[in-house]
Amino acid sequence: METFEKKITVSLDDLDDLNHVNNVRYLQWIQDISKEHWQVAAPTAMKDGIIWVVKNHNIDYKNSAVLGDEIVVRTHIAETRGAISVRCVEMYHHETNQLLVRSHTEWCLLNASTLRPMRISETIKAVFT
C-alpha cells in the first residue's frame, strides 16, 4: 500500500465560529489530497479518459485543530472492488501526533465519455500498491 502525505498549516480562513478547523474544510482537504495522490501517482496516459467521483464519505472527527497548527495529512487506498476504490485519509497534529480526523471515502471510477462506471484495472490498482 502506497501512502501519500502532505502538511497543511491552519489559517484563519479554515476556522469556524468556535475557532476550530471547520468540518467543511476537513472535507475539502480529504478531497484535495485524494486528487493530488491520483495526479502524482498515475501516469498521464492512465488519467486520460477516466474520472473519479465520490460515492460516499464517512468521516470521524476525533480532535480539534486551531489557528497555526500544522497538520500532517496521509492517504492510501484501503480496498478496491469493481469500480469502487476505498480511500482512507487520516490527519494528525504535527507536534503531538494526535489523530484529528479519519475518513473512508468510496470513489467510483467512471469512463469520462459515457460517465458510466468502469472496473478498476489491475494496472490502476498497481499504481497504489
13 pLDDT higher than 70:
yes
Is 117 a residue whose pLDDT tops 90? yes
Within 10 A of 27 (CB to CB), how many other CB atoms are there?
17
Q: Which of 10, 8, 71, 75 is nearest to 39 (CA)?
A: 75
pLDDT in tens, 39-92: 999 999 999 999 999 999 999 999 999 999 999 999 999 999 999 999 999 999
User: What confidence category does residue 33 fall into, taking pLDDT thresholds of 50, 70 and 90?
Assistant: very high
Topology of the domain covering 4-127: Thiol Ester Dehydrase; Chain A (3.10.129)
Percent of the chain exceeding pLDDT 90 equals 96
In this structure, the number of other CB atoms found within 10 A of the CB of residue 19 comes to 10
CB distance 41 to 128 below 8 Å: yes
pLDDT value at residue 129: 80
Mean pLDDT throughout 6-12?
98
The pLDDT score that the predictor gives to residue 128 is 87
Q: Please tell me the distance from the alpha carbon of residue 56 to that of residue 92, in angstroms, as a whole number.
A: 22
Looking at every residue in the chain, the average pLDDT score rounds to 96
The pLDDT, as a whole number, for residue 75 is 98
DSSP helix, strand, coil percent of the chain (3-state; round to 5) = 25, 45, 30
pLDDT for the residue 90: 98
Helical (H) or strand (E) element with 110: strand 99-111
Residue 1 has pLDDT above 80, yes or no: no
